[in-house]
Chains A and B, each alone.
Chain A
Amino acid sequence: MVRFITRRVLVGVATIIAISIIVFGLFFAVPSSPAKVMCGKNCDPASIAAVETRLGLREPIVEQYTGFMKGVFVGRTYAEGTAFEQRCDAPCLGYSFRNNEPVTAILSRTLPVTVSIVAGAAVLWLLIGVSLGMVSALRRGTLFDKVAIGISLTGASMQVFFFGLILLYGTVYATGLLPFPSYTPITENPLKWATGLILPWVTLGFLNSAIYARLSRAQMLETLSEDYVRTARAKGLPLSRVYTKHALRAAITPIVTIAGLDIGASLGGTFITETIFGLRGLGKETVEAVNFLNLPIVVATVLLAAVFIVIANLIVDLLYAVIDPRVRLS
């Protein structure tokens, strides 16, 4: 078990390093002049030079990368010895001179919004999706099953931006049932936090639960046709026990995998949901940074999104070993 975990962690770390090299190289080596890109159109040579000095863009790309990595672990000082000197404490993921603040400050402001959205939505989609799929698998062919299939088919083909805007129109503009979504920290006012985030939760939750319902129905049906389930029933075990103990455990394993990866990927930025509902989360911040080509923020958010995916992968692998004893053996 310990060897399994160490190997997984090492692979995860190697992946993150590889991605950081690719991302960094892409954003700072591919543009003809990163400073010009960041400065924007109609930028005079003096301001371009200023950007270059501030971010140390005149150094070779390898040194820029090691500087970046050093900043992550021990912090760094930008443009040391010049008028633009700027200290950035560890973990320093870059400094946005456009916003005049370290990227970590921006991340710590926007990440709670995204985490709140994803956490609430994930609870919804796992609860609704998985239970809907399981029940319709057990009642295969009934009216309930058919309605569930219909809903999940529709939901799985629906786009977040379309569904979200319909909900927004229906509940906010046309009827005024809900306030326009907003973010209040949960520590400040839990009730306001929840009411402000209902719409994004329902949007993401409903659409994803459609996918999970389809998936868990298919998994459950496949498991129910396995020989060991038939054996368990033939031995006279009560149905409820067969379903929960034997079938559910096997059927849930692939769902855990996909749920972990989905949550990891969503944390990197639910930028469509955030754009529709005007919430300043990680995704919306990334989109804005991309539109202004604010490279330090873009690099940091892309990297963070990759880290989330790698960590989610790791957790899923470990969970897998807990749920499925066969993984531990091999």
Chain B
Amino acid sequence: MRKTDSAHDVPAAGTTDGLGGTVALEVNSPVDAPIEAQKKEFVGRSPGQLAWLRLKRDRTAAVSAITLAILGAIALLAPLIGKLRGMSPTQPFTDKLNDFAMPLGYAGGMNSTHWLGLEPGNGRDIMMQLVYGMRTSLLIAFASAIVASTIGVLIGILAGYARGWLDTAINWVIDLTLAFPFLIFALAVIPIVEDRFFGARDAIPASFRVGLIIATFAMFSWTYTARLVRGQVITLREREFVEAARAAGAGTWHILFRQLLPNIWAPILVTLSLNVPAFITTEAALAFVNIGVIEPTPDLGRMIFNSIAYVASDPYYTLWPGLTIFILVLAFNLLGDSLRDALDPKSTR
């Protein structure tokens, strides 16, 4: 079981007794040992600083962070890239396709104008589709992860602190949600809810579908954070600092969000960071079966879905979006793992 009392990364919340653990860790840390020997003095560092130091020393974390920064910048600057290259993501270059609607030239039509080639069938530039598709992916993944974590933290703290019937009820809801076949359900519920709001006739705005996907993801994923937070709060609420705060006349609200929450930031941050790649994959999976973002909004998963028909004749069409999702997810996973190691007070790295 992870002891989070020394893992809060908010130095201001120094009410805990985490200092003892911090100092011991600093001395035992093998990398730090020579430096400490030279200086012959203790350097008091907050757990947050320690985690940051460990993270900076981690080469995997650095590489994945840089990769993500570059990809994130590309996604953010998508309109600028479009302007520089003089094309929009949905612009069809049908004159560069042959009679069978396959891109002319080699390797899926890759050349100096279309760096990653053209989509067979509708002749759109693959690179522009990817650049804009990443925006969709990242927007949905980040928004869902943040919403899910927020709900999870609120409900988890409430359940852990409240005890009694409220705790039992919340626990039951969590169990029920976990028993739901999430992907199948998400798949089925999105068209149904859309019908409720728009019926069969009206055109459905793309933003509504995006919002619906985010809501569905959040609705089924808050449970993990809630469980985690609840467990942490149950162990923390009996501690002396909570008792001290209560004795000093602090209200429930203050105890929950000022005393307890700062102590459980670390695991929350780790779940949040590992939720992002999971949502990127899930969103792509939904798009892959045509329940994702609607045309003409570019989407990585839908590109792969469209590419199935062309796998035999133009495998590059599958390769580029597949590779993009893979790199995004891998980088987020590696960064999340490093973050977990760095924030773990038991870690000696």
**Contact between A36 and B188 (Cβ–Cβ < 8 Å)?**
no
Convert B271-300 into 0s and 1s, putting 1 for each residue whose CB lies closer than 8 angstroms to a CB of A.
000000100010011001111000000000
Which chain A residues border B187 with CB–CB below 8 Å? 271, 286-287, 290
Interface segment among A241-249, A251-259, A302-310: the answer is A302-310
Chain B binding site: helix, strand, loop or mixed by DSSP?
A: helix
Q: Chain A: which residue is nearest B282 at the CB level?
A: A159
B333 to chain A, nearest CB (A): 5
Q: Cβ of A272 < 8 Å from any Cβ of B?
A: yes
Which chain B residues border A156 with CB–CB below 8 Å? 333
B148 to chain A, nearest CB (A): 19
**Contact between A40 and B200 (Cβ–Cβ < 8 Å)?**
yes
Q: Cβ of B307 < 8 Å from any Cβ of A?
A: yes
- Interface residue tally for chain B (C-beta within 8 Å): 44
Q: Cβ of A173 < 8 Å from any Cβ of B?
A: yes
Q: Give Cα distance in the complex from A153 to B337, angstroms.
A: 11
Decide yes or no: A18 and B176 within 8 Å by CB, A271-B187, A305-B181 being known contacts.
yes
Q: Cβ of A161 < 8 Å from any Cβ of B?
A: yes
Convert B285-327 into 0s and 1s, putting 1 for each residue whose CB lies closer than 8 angstroms to a CB of A.
1001111000000000100110110011001001000110110
**Contact between B288 and A302 (Cβ–Cβ < 8 Å)?**
no
**Contact between A19 and B289 (Cβ–Cβ < 8 Å)?**
no
Which chain B residues border A36 with CB–CB below 8 Å? 199-200
**Contact between B193 and A30 (Cβ–Cβ < 8 Å)?**
yes
Q: Cβ of B334 < 8 Å from any Cβ of A?
A: yes
**Contact between A302 and B318 (Cβ–Cβ < 8 Å)?**
no
- Interface residue tally for chain A (C-beta within 8 Å): 50
Residues of B176-217 at the interface with A, using a CB-CB cut-off of 8 Å, are: 176, 179-181, 183-185, 187-189, 191-193, 195-196, 199-201
Q: 4 extra interchain contacts, Cβ-Cβ under 8 A, other than A174-B315, A301-B184?
A: A160-B285, A173-B315, A309-B180, A310-B179
Q: List 29 A-B contacts (CB under 8 A).
A: A26-B192, A30-B196, A31-B192, A32-B195, A36-B199, A153-B330, A153-B333, A153-B334, A159-B322, A161-B305, A162-B304, A162-B322, A165-B318, A165-B322, A169-B311, A268-B184, A271-B184, A272-B285, A272-B289, A286-B184, A293-B191, A298-B188, A302-B185, A305-B184, A305-B185, A306-B181, A308-B181, A309-B180, A310-B179
Residues of B bordering A, CB below 8 Å: 175-176, 179-181, 183-185, 187-189, 191-193, 195-196, 199-201, 277, 281, 284-285, 288-291, 301, 304-305, 307-308, 311-312, 315, 318, 322-323, 325-326, 329-330, 333-334
Residues of A bordering B, CB below 8 Å: 15, 18-19, 23, 26-27, 30-32, 36-37, 40-41, 153-154, 156-162, 165-166, 168-169, 173-174, 265, 268-269, 271-272, 275-276, 283, 286-287, 290-291, 293, 298, 301-302, 305-306, 308-310, 313
